[in-house]
Amino acid sequence: MPAPSVAGDPPATEGAGIYTVLNQSDGPTSIDGRGLVWTSVYEYEAASQAALVTIGDARVEADRRGSRLLEVTTGPMPCLGHADVLMLRDDVLGDLRVQGRSWSFDLTGSDVRHTWEVVR
């Protein structure tokens, strides 16, 4: 559906106020990867079509990235909470910036179980 025109401007069309991305087969979030069409519509104010494309591409990249959760067990870490952000260095995963989603431990001083979300 075309965007409404403002004060006599022509209605927006693809390439002139509308930017559409169709991911047919690139990765697990694609139409082929999910086995269905997953439509998301966002409205942005942009100074130009090029700016709209830049904003749209950033949104698509964020949607494709999704979130990755890590389940980690550490020794007791009383200074680390559920919303803290930290840098994690791993031999396999490399350097990651993660944010705590949850943690739990029993009161006997046992190891702490963390759920961390990879953030950019």
Distance, CA of 107 to CA of 90 (rounded, Å): 28
Phi-psi region of 99 (alpha: psi -120 to 50; beta: other; left: phi over 0): beta
Domain ranges of the chain: 13-65, 69-119
Which pLDDT value is given to residue 6?
60
Distance, CA of 111 to CA of 113 (rounded, Å): 7
The reported pTM is 0.50
Note whether 31 and 39 are within 8 A (CB): no
Residue located via tokens 């942005």: 44
Which pLDDT value is given to residue 47?
93
- The pLDDT profile of the chain, 120 residues, written as one tens digit per residue, is 455 556 677 888 888 899 999 888 887 778 888 888 878 888 999 999 999 999 999 888 877 776 788 898 988 876 777 678 889 888 888 888 888 888 888 888 789 898 988 886
Which pLDDT value is given to residue 120?
66
Note whether 48 and 16 are within 8 A (CB): no
